Amino acid sequence: MKHLIVLAMLASCAASNDASYIPGFSPPATAAGYTRFVTPTVEQIKPGDNVMYCQWIAAPEDVDRQIIDTTGFQSKGGHHVALYATSSIEEVGTSRLCTTRDMLTVTFVGAVGSEGVSSAQLPEGMAFTVPKGFALMTNTHYLNATDKTIEGQSVVDIKLGDPDHPLKGAGNLAVNNDMFTIPAGADYSFDGYCKATRQLSFFMWGNHMHEWGSHAFSEIIRADGTKEMLAQDDMWTTDLTFNPKWTRWDVNTPFVVNPGDTFHVNCDWNNTTGDALTFPTEMCVSTGFTLEAMPQSICEASPTM
């Protein structure tokens, strides 16, 4: 009963927010079975501005929650909305420019482009898990290509799972390659290797760097020495930091990693600052979602195999 009350409260909150839109922004009505969250308005987005805001849209609960699907819409200038579960708790309605440290406390649970299409569709019968004690935060990106100052607003429509009939949770593995030091004012490349200890079946995989990234790739080196690409980003952009370009595999033919295979992650940067850059100001991470249900796991990479 407690779970049903929570869902009812969320639905009620979403309904009351449906009319709270900025002038000129008229998203379609919330679809049946979805809960709508309206992000705080970002004001004074000037011509040429390219901004990413972290915005807290739901408080933590004392039970796990499941997200089956995410859709949404954005006003003029909207580029994407990425949805995260975060252990960094701030008041609902908090809206500020994202920082690199925000990525240390989050788990990806969905994303949409400005046209409302999900960029993280899950296989049938699976859901992203929002652990108890985690809030919901959006990374909301606006790019003003006009010659006038605009306001930005987005809506995120979330299909929550039934707590009394939970779905299979998507597993998550991140390969963390953090032993680098990027010299000041220089181009730099770094490799990390991490050996798989169990069989994993991936249906999504993507890379992660910050604003000084230039290129990245991640691959699997099989036990026999053969290599298979997981994800390749030949031209890194800041947008990819919170909205990765996912490689996808069909749930019936996932990308299988076997014990003894090695994850290889390579990142290239262009450090335009006057200081050396280290983790977490910059990052070199690759992450994927698995058919095997498991909590988020970290595989710490080494510079050598």
What's the domain range around 59?
A: 29-167
Residue 2 within a domain: no
The domain total for the chain is 2
Residues 36, 162 within the same domain: yes
Check residues 5 and 145 and name the one with the higher pLDDT.
145
Over residues 267-272, the mean pLDDT reads 98
Residue 174 within a domain: yes
How far apart CA 39 and CA 73 sit, in angstroms, is 11
Stated pTM of the model = 0.78
| pLDDT of 112 | 84
Over residues 129-136, the mean pLDDT reads 94
Residues 253, 176 within the same domain: yes
The token pair at 222 is 């099989």
**pLDDT of 28 strictly over 90:** yes
| pLDDT of 19 | 52
Question: Using 50, 70 and 90 to split pLDDT, how confident is the model at 167?
Answer: very high
Residues 107, 144 within the same domain: yes
Over residues 26-52, the mean pLDDT reads 94
Q: CATH number for the domain including 227?
A: 2.60.120.230
Express as a percent the part of the chain with pLDDT over 90. 70
Residues 245, 146 within the same domain: no
Check residues 11 and 304 and name the one with the higher pLDDT.
304
Question: Using 50, 70 and 90 to split pLDDT, how confident is the model at 118?
Answer: low
Q: What does the pLDDT look like over 57-69, one tens digit per residue?
A: 999 999 999 999 9
CA distances from residue 199 to 196, 217, 251 in whole angstroms, order as listed = 8, 21, 15
Q: What does the pLDDT look like over 204-241, one tens digit per residue?
A: 999 999 989 999 999 999 999 999 999 999 999 988 88
Residue 286 C-alpha from the chain's centroid: 12
**Residue indicated by tokens 């639905």:** 11
Pick the last residue of a domain from 167, 185, 217: 167
Residues 103, 178 within the same domain: no
Residues 33, 163 within the same domain: yes
